[in-house]
Amino acid sequence: MRDEAERDQEAVSKFVENFAAQLVEAGMQRMPARVFAALLSSDDGAMTSGELGSQLRISPAAVSGAVRYLAQQHMVAREREPGSRRERYRVQGDQWYEALTNREALIKRWEGALREGVSSLGADTPAGRRMAETLAFFEFVDGEIVAMMERWRVHRETRFGGAT
């Protein structure tokens, strides 16, 4: 098995940029997508601001903004290097689970707003019925996410033996 030092850095850089482009296409901001892809492609899943800046050829401010966004989305965590004031940024093995769980909270808020809309518009009006159908969709999605995440935990445990 090759370690990071033996890898074709040009190929790694190409992967990072290609994967980041896919994340941008899906709606993520460009710089957080690049930082996330770089972290994901590192063996230990963690890098300092300087390492990220050097690999991606971006400023410390760009790294900081990207990490702030990714931390808010529960896709990376900040940690201190032992005996140092420097922070490392780590992508979690369960980052997709965390990101989806974060979306689940957003869906719950949308459901509350939609319930209020149905009540305000009247369930028997065309707009109220449309709002009720939208609410039913989000309630369905919410239930499916919960069930899917439970299936994922079982699948992950079977395939990978727990946390990565």
Gap between the Cα atoms of 37 and 54, Å rounded: 14
Structure tokens at 140: 């369905």
What are the residues whose beta carbons fall under 8 Å from the beta carbon of 63, sequence distance 6 or more?
35, 49, 52, 53, 56
Q: Where are the domains of the chain?
A: 4-91, 95-160
Query: Which sign does the torsion angle of CA 70, 13, 59, 87 carry?
Result: positive
On the CB side of 88, CA atoms within 13 Å amount to 15
- Say if CB 58 and CB 52 are below 8 A apart: yes
- Measured between alpha carbons, how far is 41 from 20 in angstroms, rounded to an integer? 11
- As averages over each run of 10 residues, the pLDDT of the chain (164 residues) reads 70 94 93 95 92 95 95 87 84 73 81 95 94 95 88 90 64
Give me the CATH code for the 4-91 domain, please.
1.10.10.10
Q: In the chain, how long is the greatest CA-to-CA distance?
A: 66
pTM of the model: 0.71
Per-residue pLDDT at 117: 94
95-103: which pairs have CB atoms within 8 A and are 24 or more residues apart? 97/149, 97/152, 97/153, 98/74, 99/73, 99/74, 99/75, 100/145, 100/149, 101/74, 101/149, 102/73, 102/74, 103/145
Q: What integer pLDDT is reported at residue 1 of this predicted model?
A: 52
**Structure tokens belonging to residue 146:** 């919960």
Look at residue 20 in the predicted model and tell me its pLDDT: 96
Cβ atoms 47, 88 nearer than 8 A: yes
